[in-house]
Structure 1
Amino acid sequence: MSDYSISAIGHIQSPYKQKFAIPRQPRLVPEAKAKLIFTSEFNREEFVRGIDEFTHIWLLFRFHETADKGFSAMVRPPRLGGNERKGVFATRATFRPNAIGMSAVKLEGIEYKNGQLSLLLAGIDLLDGTPIIDIKPYLPYSDAMQDASAGFADTRPETQMSVEFTPEVTSFIEQQTQYPDLLNFISNVLKQDPRPAYKKQKDGEQSYGMTLYDYNIRWQVNGEHNVVTSIEKS
């Protein structure tokens, strides 16, 4: 087995500051906006010339927060409630031999500002600071296989979760202007039900917190209903 050296070409500047609450697949939360910031070696417009002709791109990245924890031959996919084991190569789990992941995301534009080249992205599912190791255009005629099946993950994950905001939280969100889609962003993150599988089986009210952008957000879950109770600058 040969060893290969791979260096990051950039990193993701993401609203997701912790693994908790990140959607388990890309494009499930369209309001999740991010930037791909290129390293100095690739900080030239020549590297992305023509990429704006594509609406979507593939990102190959490294699971940098779990890479040093090693890998497992068998994992418990969240789609199966964490109750059944599958081979790691039959899943998109993070604990992989080379800790490499991939996401197909929407490309919203190219930015070259103050000498820094960036790609503007939407629908991401990546942690802030994630190293990007390659970019490839998404080709609908080749990459979208209409007759494909996906085993235990064959359908888009859906929940019956509803989301409510207290008047104080709603007022705070409406007054801030930095993130116009913040209310919908928070709502769609919570509709994905980011709780661990074992928590979903418990009765009674549960309280959680997460950080999105530079906001600490707290909410309560009772059955299939979320109530966002507080939001404040982190």
Structure 2
Amino acid sequence: MADDTRTITQEQWQHAELIWEYHRMHHPARPCDVAVALGCNDIGVAEHAAERYHSGLFPLLVFTGGNSPSTAGVFPRGEAVHFRERALALGVPDASILVETKASNTGQNITYSHAALLADGVLPDSVLLLCMPYMERRAYATARKQWPDVEVVCSSAPLGLRDYAKRAGDAGAVIDMMVGDLQRVIEYPRIGFAIEQEVPQPVRDAYDSLVASGFDSRLIQR
């Protein structure tokens, strides 16, 4: 990401941190039959997947994702391809990795990964979803809708918002993306993409304030 050029006020940070904590599912780490790492523009997801693999939480890992406008320049050969290469470099054996290279959104990440596992003869009862921290809740809601017969556990890098934004290099863009993810948590159940989830009023108020402040580049245009 490019360096952030926006000045973020203390109040905006407070609102963003409230939304950040809402997005985190805070699931305890536990073993699952398989893991699915969702493609994105953050190679840290692949690194977290490797760490969780070496912790013994799952025997088989699916990397899913082709390209989107926000990732084509970062991962020109596709998100899953680059994620696999990073995991291999971190010691995950190739025999423990499946690669799905066609998905271009979160719903496809879930359904295409399910299909790839079925094609490999794997019928899991539990799935560890690995993703960016602010994407946990939307990934969970999508998986519960699109793959309802498995238990879903979420995991992401254990970072606070400010540390994550510093690593990303563009705090404004991170806030834009997590605001966009919250909009999808709210809107997607109405069109059948995800299960309904309660959004506490303070989180909704923080969302409204950040949108009004211009953190709106990732919103769905109605």
- TM-score, scaled to structure 2: 0.27
Higher helix share: 2
Higher strand share: 1
